[in-house]
Structure 1
Amino acid sequence: MSPSPHEHFEFLLLDGFSNMVLASALEPLRDVKMRALYASPGWEITSLNGKPVESSSAIQVSPNRAFDPAKSTGTLVIVAGYRVRQQITKELLVAIRQAVRTARRVLALDTAAWVLAEAGVLDGHQATIHWQELDAFRESFPKVTVSSARFVQSGPFLTCGGASTALELTLDLIQTLFGPAAAFDASNMFIYDPARQSELKRGSQQLQDRGSPKLLDALNVIAENVETPLTTFELAERVSLSERSLSRAFADELGMTTGKYYKLYRLQHARYLAQETRLSVEQIALRCGFSCASALGRSFTREFGRPISAFRPPNRNGPSDGTACSV
């Protein structure tokens, strides 16, 4: 499946949902929207009646609108938690069956697989659920092949258990929809630890099943060498590949040259620093491997279509040196 730049996500929240599960699925999408140049996911929150939904920790979330199965034409994400059985009504099951017919795919997080199974749409499919419900789920729905895997995809359905598995499922889906580069960047945002990525199989290691090991090694090296970028030759040498083999891996698996990805990574980091810190543009340039502010500014505007100052929150524009220089 080739990466697509656009995808709409609808998060249907049921009372008792876990804030942590919701954040694990939603925040990586926010990161993709903020940082990935060639991906633009959108999302909205819905509830069954359009009224605020209360999480398991008594935090109320106001939805964008009431759930309308006819509008579920993209990716429907159902987030349930405690008391899921008590919330299942005939009206809900009818709506879920209709939504399944119109949605491109359906994600069921935490205990939400119970809703899908009760609606009968998981019959003949493989699925999983929160580990506390696995035995009861298996006993209650014999037509569903119940798995203890961290997350499962079966046809249009993706199911998982708690928050950590929701994060893994979301990163896997981001790779499918928006490409390995977007998934790698989102993974780094939430679980990046340069000293322990390899040990814990974090960062780009999350993509091990999809990306070649040498490419994944190269992506980690890039993430660790932003302030002083390596040449393509040096990068290839670090991962024990020839420049030609490394270039072929980037072209085949990420759809861009090694240098293009490396520069995009640095520019995305510059955008993050502009949004989140009080560093001057000159300081940001140096931290992202550019010789000066004007060199960063030219590259930034060329890629993003707007100057870096446009990404500054109010009152956070620091001094910069506009002296001409080279990249």
Structure 2
Amino acid sequence: MITHLVFDGVTESSLGIGVDIVASAAQLAGGHGVAAPHAARLLRQRVVSLDGRPVRSGAGRSIAVDGALQLRGMGAADVLVVPGWFAATEASMQLWLAGDECRRAAAWLARAAARQVMLAASCSATFLLAEAGLLDGQRATTTWWLGAAFARRFPAVTLEAERMVVQAPGVLTAGAAFAHADLMLAVIARMASATLAQRVARYLLLDSRPSQSRYMAMEHLRVCDPAVQKAEQFILGNLQRQIALPELARAAAVSPRTLARRVHAALGMTPGALVQRLRVAHAAHLLETSNASVEEVAARVGYADPAAFRRVFRRYAGDSPRGKRSHSACWQPG
């Protein structure tokens, strides 16, 4: 059984694609790694709220549910999925986490984990799993624009904010709202088979997206720490050359160890990763707004070797430089 737990503000697209993926998997299961009768049992689903009442979506519409969350009979063969809601700022996320609904939900999730129920969450709902202590000592991802806030609040979690989906023992996490599709495909692969998940993806035209890096905007990652701000300004002014950690620390007026600690606390990454991310962000801007060749763009952001640039770009942007340019062109008028 797959149970979708929803709260006020739930993103309708996340809930909808989650339900559709499970329904499609149930219909396509026969002959694709799971016997149809077995799939019918595994891929039953329901939508619930904590109290059994309808919830109001982020779009302001009433979402009917099948009842209240109940754990009776649930165990290792079951999944509890929490689609996220749109939290634009760290302040709005903190407000929700301080509320009674969060405390009650965290207690339910802890009881579900004790029953060996698989837990899965996307976007802002990953904060709920972390708040319940269910991600301590685990790897996880979250919605990209709240990655720094997540890293600060939950230092016991190994955050991999660039990843679209992170699978850890007993728990799966995914990035921003539409990453819920990737999350649900991972759930299907875990519960049924990878073959079935791949077939569902083909039928629903869902591409493989291992990284949410291509969607990250650096302006959302900027922080108030003056040392980190100085480091960022120095990097942006020296994109065309190599920057060593001691030099960057001197520019920030702190020791290398202190800079590493403060960058990680503020952004959940190393100073080296910050350098690469800023280079890739500027390279992506050039690819989207100029006709410069990939080789020219590589040189402008400090890479004499275009092949090395392509590798780093793919790692941080989740796509090739040419792919980034072509994806950008799809959004242009005309």
> TM bucket by the smaller chain?
0.5 to 0.7
Q: Per-residue deviation at 1:89?
A: 4.1
Asked if residue 155 in structure 1 is aligned to residue 169 in structure 2, the reply is: yes
Q: Which residue of 2 aligns with 1:11?
A: 4
Q: CA separation in 2, counterparts of 1:25 and 1:55?
A: 15
Q: CA separation in 1, counterparts of 2:29 and 2:182?
A: 19
Q: Which residue of 2 aligns with 1:188?
A: 202
Q: Which secondary structure state, in structure 2, belongs to the residue aligned with residue 108 of structure 1?
A: strand
Q: CA separation in 2, counterparts of 1:154 and 1:63?
A: 29
* Amino acid in structure 1 at the alignment position of 2:109: I
Task: Map 1:72-151 onto structure 2 (within 5 A).
Answer: 72-73=74-75, 74-82=78-86, 84-85=96-97, 87=99, 88-148=101-161, 149-151=163-165
Q: Per-residue deviation at 1:119?
A: 1.2
Q: Per-residue deviation at 1:159?
A: 0.4
Q: CA separation in 1, counterparts of 2:196 and 2:57?
A: 29
Contact persistence 2:48–2:65 (CA under 8 A): yes
Task: Map 1:37-76 onto structure 2 (within 5 A).
Answer: 37=30, 38=35, 39-40=39-40, 41-73=43-75, 74-76=78-80
Q: CA separation in 2, counterparts of 1:129 and 1:26?
A: 21
| Cα deviation digits, residues 207-245 of structure 1 (max 9, x gap) | 9xxxxxxxxxxxxxxxxxxxxxxxxxxxxxxxxxxxxxx
Q: Which secondary structure state, in structure 2, belongs to the residue aligned with residue 138 of structure 1?
A: helix
Q: CA separation in 2, counterparts of 1:175 and 1:92?
A: 26
TM-score by length of 2: 0.52
Q: CA separation in 2, counterparts of 1:103 and 1:10?
A: 14
How many residues are aligned here?
189
* Amino acid in structure 2 at the alignment position of 1:77: V
Task: Map 1:251-266 onto structure 2 (within 5 A).
Answer: none
Contact persistence 2:82–2:122 (CA under 8 A): yes
Q: Which secondary structure state, in structure 2, belongs to the residue aligned with residue 80 of structure 1?
A: coil
Task: Map 1:159-238 onto structure 2 (within 5 A).
Answer: 159-191=173-205, 202=207
Runs of 4+ in structure 1 deviating by more than 6 angstroms, as ranges, are none
Contact persistence 2:13–2:177 (CA under 8 A): yes
Q: Which residue of 1 aligns with 2:16?
A: 23
Classify 1:91/1:27 alpha carbon distance in 2 versus 1 (closer, same or farther; 3 Å): same
| Cα deviation digits, residues 155-179 of structure 1 (max 9, x gap) | 1010012243221222233233322
Q: CA separation in 2, counterparts of 1:122 and 1:189?
A: 33
Contact persistence 2:164–2:174 (CA under 8 A): yes
Q: Per-residue deviation at 1:29?
A: 1.0
Q: Which secondary structure state, in structure 2, belongs to the residue aligned with residue 14 of structure 1?
A: coil
Q: Which residue of 1 aligns with 2:311?
A: none
Q: CA separation in 1, counterparts of 2:70 and 2:141?
A: 26
Q: CA separation in 1, counterparts of 2:66 and 2:98?
A: 24
* Amino acid in structure 2 at the alignment position of 1:91: R
Q: Per-residue deviation at 1:20?
A: 0.9
Classify 1:94/1:163 alpha carbon distance in 2 versus 1 (closer, same or farther; 3 Å): closer
Contact persistence 1:25–1:167 (CA under 8 A): yes
Contact persistence 2:137–2:157 (CA under 8 A): yes
Contact persistence 1:10–1:72 (CA under 8 A): no
Q: Which residue of 2 aligns with 1:291?
A: none
Classify 1:109/1:98 alpha carbon distance in 2 versus 1 (closer, same or farther; 3 Å): same
Q: CA separation in 2, counterparts of 1:95 and 1:172?
A: 23
Q: Which secondary structure state, in structure 2, belongs to the residue aligned with residue 10 of structure 1?
A: strand
Q: CA separation in 2, counterparts of 1:155 and 1:146?
A: 15
Classify 1:180/1:53 alpha carbon distance in 2 versus 1 (closer, same or farther; 3 Å): same
| Cα deviation digits, residues 116-146 of structure 1 (max 9, x gap) | 1111121111111111211101000111111
Q: Which secondary structure state, in structure 1, belongs to the residue aligned with residue 107 of structure 2?
A: helix
Q: Per-residue deviation at 1:12?
A: 0.5
* Amino acid in structure 2 at the alignment position of 1:61: I
Q: Which secondary structure state, in structure 2, belongs to the residue aligned with residue 182 of structure 1?
A: helix
CA RMSD of the aligned region, Å? 2.2
Q: CA separation in 2, counterparts of 1:55 and 1:153?
A: 27
* Amino acid in structure 2 at the alignment position of 1:68: Q
Q: CA separation in 2, counterparts of 1:53 and 1:72?
A: 23
- Structure 2 residues without counterparts, runs of 5 or longer: 87-91, 211-334
Q: Which secondary structure state, in structure 1, belongs to the residue aligned with residue 14 of structure 2?
A: helix
Q: Which secondary structure state, in structure 2, belongs to the residue aligned with residue 33 of structure 1?
A: helix
Contact persistence 1:70–1:102 (CA under 8 A): no
TM-score by length of 1: 0.53
